[in-house]
Copies of this chain bind each other. A is one copy, B any other.
């Protein structure tokens, strides 16, 4: 059995895999070795290097392990057609992302950037606008693993959490759940609105000017899912009109964000260059998920963790 990587774990991580699975022929290459893929049984990839044409010639390929959460750059139709199993590392982002999201919220609530500005000026002033997270209400749109973790921690801060997904089915760490249809009714209640939605046919352009108009003028909007879920020019307009007080954006319609984009210079926007999921523990955790699944796979257990419904795309 041949397993091809299209990225390079650290040498000791490679060795650990080889030692744990002696029967397997590992091939660590970067970038994707298209020739080696032709005979590989399993591909481990970040999910950005795979073309439809590669799937055609990868006649042995049975399982693609994507060491990432977003699958929008994958040739999903071709993969579905061939019946190739796909798993990802859903959940791997939840710790660093929840920490990033909470960091941004608290930094805004406690005016940490104003404190930093005053320090730069050598100015001691205790006239700092400071509001509390405690007792506020957060709306989490798309509460999967990440949203659940954010919700759990927000609850520890005394925040009421409302989750919103397609079904409205109850989810962990949410005090309340609503469906997409109820979004506009609930937006006026939320002090913080966080989108953690993936990019799918259903979510593209979901959040429009009308939605921002429904929000409190004091609301903080955060996009930590995918940029194209928000109609960016409509968000820009809402911010310029001060429909909401703040936007913290980790994702954008086009990344990197263009040099001349108004967001860069806006006082009520934080441009976070898609770094909220960064973690020194990333590959460690990805390989842990992979090793567990590989053990299952070798034992003939097809109930892998983080199995993707390839047709739905998540």
Contact = CB atoms under 8 A, between A and B. Distances in A.
Given A110-B99, A132-B281, A156-B152, A256 B119 contact: no
Contacts of A106: 99-100, 102-103, 106-107
Interface in A182-204: none
A275 interface: yes
Interface string A114-143: 011011001011101011111000000000
A119 B270 contact: yes
A113 interface: yes
A279 interface: yes
Contacts of A153: 156-157
Contacts of A255: 124
A278 interface: yes
B275 A126 contact: yes
Contact of A100 (B103, B110, B119, B122): B110
A237 interface: no
A2 interface: no
A214 interface: no
Given A99-B133, A124-B256, A270 B115 contact: yes
Contact of A126 (B109, B132, B157, B274): B274
Given A99-B133, A156-B156, 16 more contacts: A95-B134, A99-B109, A99-B132, A99-B134, A99-B157, A100-B110, A103-B106, A103-B109, A110-B276, A115-B271, A115-B272, A116-B116, A119-B270, A124-B271, A128-B275, A130-B278
